[in-house]
Amino acid sequence: MYQINFDEPCRVYFMGIGGISMSGLAEILMKEGFTVTGSDMRESDLTKQLEAAGAKINYQQIASNIDPEAIDVVVYTAAIHENHPELAEVIRLDIPRLTRAELLGQIMRNYKTSIAISGTHGKTTTTSMITEVMLEAGLDPTITVGGMLDCIHGNFHLGSSDCFITEACEYTNSFLSFYPTVEAVLNIEADHLDFFKDLEDIRHSFRLFMEKLPAGGVLVINSEIDGWEELTAGLSCRVVTFGLEDSAADFTAANVTYDEQAHPSFDLLVLRDGSYEKVTEIRLNAPGIHNLKNALACAAIALEQGVKPEAVAAGLNRFGNAHRRFEYKGSIGGVKIVDDYAHHPQEIDATLAAAREMKTGKIWCAFQSHTYTRTKALLDEFANSLSKADEVLLAPIFAARETDTLGISSQDIADRIERLGTKAHNFESFDEIETFILTNCQPGDLVITMGAGDIYKVGENLLGK
């Protein structure tokens, strides 16, 4: 495998440079003196930012972009296959190449402390939380996060300390290319079933990820994960647990209350010598019990790294969600518009539960399912979760990398939701959804645009953004 040498910056070509993760890695290398070029299908705010920093980007992904005289190594994502015009040319010319995960793993090796946040969901939020806490503590970590974060003015920050923070995604086992010294495992659920065989296959992947921790490393794991003790048995690292339902967790919460926006406040407790000790009080500006659990994971990581409790409390209080995580977009005619990235049934459950904690009128969920594979595998689970809204508006499935519909459409979700007693409407376009909202929603209602695709455009169109 090609090895990046940070003492001798080279010329790196990024295929799909405009992706949320790829753009952050490209910026890190540029700040370190590397020459960065790349390609993407279309111009975006992220590509414009890279170009302003000096990157040269092609907006056609064709073989002639690959110049062996100007490229030392190519970086590509798991979504790019060997028949892709650029990658096929890279292979033909035998130019060294790295996956995005392999590059990220090599970057992590340059830091004394590398914190990797994993889990089926909650990664971006928890990574954002720990970023706020570390900055509040006066540390200056290097950060790459899968969302736009206001406190670092983007999705990446090149720090001055010997600490690196990143998300760690299990899809295609990419996190097995990482070299963390600290890991968080937030949850393990059935997802990405176009790659994994089943839940046991996913659990096996997470176990391999845990085994990458060195003897002096720290694993922070949710004690509500089924069989977490079995998953962690025999690890050489220190294992620290967090959770609400398990009274034996090392980090837990007590005296939980919610304000009118469903923001939780609680006492942070730490198990010491067999009894719980109150460490500090936490007040979040992000809604829902799922964010309370994310905050527990964040607090465990930070306190294990020697951060003072008051910095943990202040950093978590300042955190107000990454973009597309229960993000308030505005209101129109007295109807609130919120956008959320939830694209897995458990995430939908958490988002709708947070909405229920708010004092609001009817809850409308405009949902866009993400990939045919996930939709087919979790069809009943999607229906059960979405039925917890008062009314559901379904957009066409977002295909992403897939071309085979598998005979599945949003109407299949709608039919199942209706059988559960919740009204569901299937639409062919965003325009139809927007018209329906304007016609049917009343002042005081809440509309949540939800999904990992481009459903957020519905809210932005309604608000004229």
Angle between helices 345-356 and 289-304 (to 10 degrees): 110
What does the alpha-carbon distance between residue 402 and residue 90 come to, in Å, rounded to a whole number?
24
Is 166 known to be catalytic?
no
What does the alpha-carbon distance between residue 327 and residue 345 come to, in Å, rounded to a whole number?
19
Beta-bridged to residue 253, according to DSSP, are 268
Helix (H, G, I), strand (E, B) or coil at 355: helix
**Which residue among the candidates 37, 113, 120, 124 is catalytic per the annotation?**
124
What does the alpha-carbon distance between residue 214 and residue 327 come to, in Å, rounded to a whole number?
37
Is 197 known to be catalytic?
no
Q: How many CB atoms lie under 10 A from the CB of residue 193?
A: 17
Which residues 6+ apart lie within 8 Å of 277 measured at CB?
269, 270, 271
- Per-residue three-class SS string for 394-461: ECCCECCCCCCCCCCCHHHHHHHHHHCCCEEEECCCHHHHHHHHHHHCCCCCEEEEECCCCCHHHHHH
Angle between helices 379-386 and 410-419 (to 10 degrees): 60
What does the alpha-carbon distance between residue 340 and residue 347 come to, in Å, rounded to a whole number?
9
Dihedral angle sign, alpha carbons of residues 78, 83, 85, 86:
positive
Q: Which tokens go with 116?
A: 């990797």
Q: What is the DSSP string of 28-86?
A: HHHHTT-EEEEE-SS--HHHHHHHHTT-EEESS--GGG--TTT-SEEEE-TT--TTSHH
Question: 145, 156 in Cβ contact below 8 A?
Answer: yes
Which alpha helices (H) appear in 68-182, and where do they start and end?
A: 85-93, 100-108, 123-136
Phi, psi torsion values for 461, nearest 5 degrees: -65, -45
Is 123 known to be catalytic?
yes
**Which residue among the candidates 89, 167, 170, 327 is catalytic per the annotation?**
167
Question: 433, 448 in Cβ contact below 8 A?
Answer: no
**Which residue among the candidates 123, 329, 336, 388 is catalytic per the annotation?**
123
- The set of catalytic residues is 123-124, 167
